[in-house]
């Protein structure tokens, strides 16, 4: 599967932004899809993950209540809706995929090393 992110840009603190991850070459229904981000000088971290196969979702504590991940199997696109954005949300956001569901509990796949297909990233900047 190939992944292409879009929707990044500049937004003021408190604003909203929706990122899109368009998949080609395979259906998102067969993959766990995750959104990750990397701020300057920091390690890449998981933001949210979803799999249509088992209906599971994961959200990092830092974004819970502000972010919604959704998957459109017909359009083959995974979205990341972000609201009440903060300057600390500033980062390059990446979409990634790995075959199969994301799992549950301790087996939930939410770490960067667990995903083996990556998009090129899209910059999100939140101004204070």
The pLDDT tens digits of the residues spanning 31-77 come to 999 999 999 999 999 999 999 888 899 999 999 999 999 999 999 99
φ/ψ (deg, to 5) at 87? -55, -30
pLDDT of residue 54: 82
- Closest of 125, 126, 102 to residue 115, by C-alpha: 102
d(CA 23, CA 75): 9
pLDDT of residue 106: 82
- Of the pLDDT bands very low, low, confident and very high (cuts 50, 70, 90), residue 88 is very high
The mean pLDDT of 6-17, rounded to a whole number, is: 98
Q: What is the pLDDT of residues 93-110, one digit of tens each?
A: 999 999 999 988 888 899
| Size (the chain), residues | 128
């Amino acid at each position: 599967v190939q992944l292409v992110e879009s929707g990044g840009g500049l937004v003021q603190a408190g604003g909203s932004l929706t990122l899109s991850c368009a998949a080609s070459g395979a259906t998102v229904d067969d993959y766990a899809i995750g959104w990750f981000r990397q701020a300057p000088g920091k390690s890449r971290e998981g933001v949210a993950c979803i799999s249509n196969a088992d209906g599971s979702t994961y959200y990092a504590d830092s974004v819970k209540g502000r972010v919604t991940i959704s998957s459109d199997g017909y359009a083959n696109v995974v979205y990341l809706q972000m609201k009440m954005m903060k300057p600390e949300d500033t980062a390059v956001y990446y979409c990634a995929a790995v075959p199969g569901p994301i799992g549950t509990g301790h087996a939930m796949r939410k770490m960067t090393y667990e995903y083996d297909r990556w998009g090129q990233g899209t910059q999100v900047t939140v101004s204070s």
